[in-house]
Chains A and B, each alone.
Chain A
Amino acid sequence: MQPQDLQRALAPKLGERLLGVEPFAGTAGRVRFERTAALETFRAMRDDLGFAHCAMVGGIDWVETREVLYVLWSDGARQYALLSTTVPANDAHVETASGVWPSANWHEREAWEMVDITFDHHPDLRHLLMPDGYAFHPLLRSFKLHEPEELEVKVRHV
């Protein structure tokens, strides 16, 4: 499967909200889409293109914006595909993919607690790797390393 195959399948459904499909080494391509088209993109990728498995959801902090990255796998094509959408940092939320791929559930919890991207309509958006009530999103670039004692006081009293 080539990037133009993805483009051909997705363009009629997404229209303007498909920002582009670029080649990406080792994958069928990297699809960039507007976050308003998230659910349509997920469904098209799963139902029309056969990417039945969501291998990873991750977040990247680009300071002013944040990028949500999805890695999909197709058993039929034996290929990966990347999905990517960019959200502003002061309004970082996107529709959840856990309704389409249940395996995205925990990945989205991790992306939320690490880089503070809210996933709308997520069934169970709570801490995964950190204790409940942890006050930080530690993989943000604005997170400074604390002195251990200072962090301890903050963690203990949340």
Chain B
Amino acid sequence: MGRLSATVLPPPKPAPAETAATGMAGAALPVVHEPAVPFVEIEAVRAKEFVPAAKEALTALLAEQGQQKLIRPVFNWAGRNSLFPLHWGLACCAIEFAAAFGARWDAERFGVVPRSSPRQCDLMIVNGTVTWKVAHKLVTLYEQMPEPKWVIAMGNCATGGGPFRTAYSVVPGVDKLVPVDVYIAGCPPRPEAMLDGILQLEKLIHERKE
């Protein structure tokens, strides 16, 4: 039968606070590395031994950890590393949005790929001034996106109306229409700021419990 065993290791305890080397004398920042998913060690020589062993190990793990607790981090990991924003532009922030996907900033290295159909998107980046005329189209696009979905308000106009806040035609902040997860300040924000906003959103998704 050969060697066939599966061992489920308990999730490693948080490492004792490491001392991060900083420039400041005596200042120690605790750094904790806690894996989101427990380690599974499977000993197998051949592929046909590996499959039942892995099945046994994962079943044991599921029974021990509970489905939600085990699968949620995997979904979060997959989701936050493949954010597909809606490929649309409302105003001048769209120029910075476009630049962020160009060669210099290359947002695709974070798995961010703009898609042209809201059905394929899980992220809406509202990049520009939202007028009342376009408001219900924006809400329609948001509703066409499949769950789970997130919204980034990019720039001052989308955040709070910007310089057009008191104008007769401008929505004073896109959070009046759709729930917003991350706000990016700037008029317009540089591509670095947009990438930082996406990384903040990835942090939010990482911590998502449900």
Contacts and interface: CB of A to CB of B under 8 A. Distances in A.
Answer yes or no: do A and B interact.
yes
Interface of A: 129-131, 134, 136, 138, 143, 145-149, 151-152, 155
21 contacts: A129-B169, A130-B133, A130-B169, A131-B132, A131-B133, A131-B136, A134-B132, A136-B168, A138-B168, A143-B168, A145-B166, A145-B168, A146-B166, A146-B168, A148-B161, A148-B166, A148-B172, A149-B172, A152-B171, A152-B172, A152-B176
B72 interface: no
Q: Which DSSP category, helix, strand, loop or mixed, fits chain B's interface?
A: loop
Nearest to A127: B133
Contacts, number: 29
Interface in B124-159: 132-133, 135-136
Nearest to B160: A148
Interface residues of B, number: 12
A35 B135 CA distance: 38
A116 B159 CA distance: 32
B87 interface: no
Interface of B: 132-133, 135-136, 161, 165-166, 168-169, 171-172, 176
A155 B132 contact: yes
A131 B135 contact: yes
